[in-house]
Amino acid sequence: MTQAPRNALVGGRFGAAADRYEDHAAIQRITAERLASDIALLPLPPCPRILEIGCGTGLLTQALARRLGPADWTVTDISPAMLAAARRGPALPGSARYQTLDGEHPDGLAGGYDLICSSLAVQWFADLNAGLARLAALLAPGGHLAVATLAAGTFREWQAAHRAAGLEAGTPPYPPARAIRPAMVNLAGGVRSERLIQNHPDGLHFLRGLKGIGATTPAAGRPPLGAAGLRRVLAAFDEQGATVTYHLAYGMWKKTAQRPVGVFVTGTDTGIGKTLVSAILARAWNAEYWKPVQTGVAEEPGDTDTVAQLARLPPERLHLPAYVLQAPLSPWAAATLEDTVVDATTIVPPATRAPLVVEGAGGLYVPIDDTHMMIDLIARLDMPVVLAARSGLGTINHTLLSLEALKRRGIPVLGVVMSGPPSAGNKEAIERFGGVRVLAEIAPLPRVDAAAVDALAQGIPPLAECLAALYEARAVTD
């Protein structure tokens, strides 16, 4: 079956369910509200240009309208009947147009959108990542793509019931959350995941719910079950408890411009003072700040708020993390505990108008996901490093090991910042044997506040001077 006829089939079945859709759309309503809450945190401009893909009866549309207020809305769906149902909802604040559209192939749209969003529609795309890339291409610079979709593991109980009956389920294959990302390089962001479990009285109730929302198109090439086979599957499903798991993936990406100028602040260890160093550098260089992966927010405020206060940064010079995790552990460990997927390959720096100070989590060999360490992210971002180190006993070994690891990866080091009681001997050893410059020594502070950061920032050399010295030294070495 080619994609165009399949899309028409999907749209027709959803259209046939338009009048009764919301009576069966509990999961869809929860997902739309949660996606809308995420979107409401984005720094959208006043009266943003919004394109919604697969609006259905308007669950996400209305959830956004309540949170965002006036906007320039383009609301679309592949089904004219669903589009008509959405149009019958409360009037949207601002200006609105409704358009029948195949969201996977959004031909004819001019682009320039501040927000493109979709809740539980893009899972019907034949090629999800290619379709997301086509949507992302319609974003204005700095615009956001925000989607909720289904991920691998959804309907696993229904699939297990088919296997128990010696059959194969016709449910569409869904990708792992970590594999969901638009096929574009200039997007910053990532995917978070969530698991919802829905209990049903029995299998017939579950099937009626799917029919009620129109989600009955089988995967390509899968014929519908015969009556005898369906009876066996329903018996096996009921025996398992008639429970259905939904694995939801929430993707949030921002369209970036060119790679920013700035530094990546990492450390020889955790708790080494990276956040204070980041605040000092941001203040000294009038920079913007970004922490790609934030952990430990269950126990203390995130580092973005801390740096904002210490460096006196206005909101427009702060960038939201790609991932925020509760536990005070490595991103990999925290994500495992929280049933969240972190993918280092989706982390791309934001577009900036000023130098960017990026703060890592932990040290160089803190795992981000199953295959990437913090040093891998630094290498991908291609930014010089400022290494935060202690000044006391053991720092020579720890600092030189970190410098050697960076050198082996070809990552340039702008300099080292040492925290603790000043040690002339340790400073000299690090500069001599590490071949780097100690940019600053931070003695113990009686009070860590904005005034202290102001004073320390005055002693930091200008960024242009540091970069010139770095690349001059590298040219001589090479």
* C-beta pairs of 457-464 under 8 Å, 24+ apart in sequence: 457/280, 457/281, 457/283, 457/284, 457/311, 458/284, 460/280, 460/281, 460/284, 460/285, 462/284, 462/285, 463/261, 463/262, 463/263, 463/284, 463/285, 463/287, 463/355
Q: Is the dihedral of CA 30, 97, 138, 188 positive or negative?
A: negative
Separation of alpha carbons 122 and 104, rounded Å: 7
Separation of alpha carbons 441 and 455, rounded Å: 13
Separation of alpha carbons 391 and 425, rounded Å: 10
Closest of 404, 336, 398 to residue 368, by C-alpha: 336
Distance of CA 419 to the CA centre of its chain: 32
Amino acid at 41: L
The residues pairing with 365 across neighbouring beta strands, listed in sequence order, are none
Which residue among the candidates 254, 255, 291, 427 is catalytic per the annotation? 291
Cβ contact 150:248 at 8 Å: yes
**Could you tell me what percentage of the chain is helix, strand and coil, using 3-state DSSP and rounding each to the nearest 5?**
40, 20, 40
Question: Is 291 considered catalytic here?
Answer: yes
The β-bridge relationship of strands 385-390 and 262-267 is: parallel
Residue with tokens 């962001």: 189
Active site residues: 291
